[in-house]
Amino acid sequence: SILLLHINSYLELLCDYSFSKIFNGPLNFSGLLLEYLNGIAIPKLIESGILF
């Protein structure tokens, strides 16, 4: 189920990336923030949750 969570987060990352490509401009920063959260922050939170 952890693998499924990672796959889901990377699918969201892909959607955010294509979304930011389509709507380039003011939304670009929030798109990058979402990419950071989905690609880096959330998986690290999941991994640290596993370690406890």
Residue 40, domain member (yes or no): yes
**Rounded Cα–Cα distance for residues 11 and 52 (Å):** 26
Residue-level pLDDT at 23? 62
Any domain includes 36 = yes
The stretches of 1-52 forming alpha helices (DSSP H) are 2-22, 27-36, 42-51
- Does a structural domain hold residue 7? no
Non-local (6+) Cβ contacts of 34 within 8 A are 12, 16
Note the pLDDT tens digit of each residue in 5-50: 777 788 887 777 776 666 665 556 777 777 777 777 777 777 777 6
Let me know if residue 39 belongs to a domain: yes
The number of distinct structural domains making up the chain is: 1
pLDDT band at 52 (very low <50, low <70, confident <90, very high): very low
Range of the domain at 39: 27-52
Residue 5 lies in a domain: no
**What's the pLDDT score for residue 22?**
62
The pTM assigned to this predicted structure is 0.35
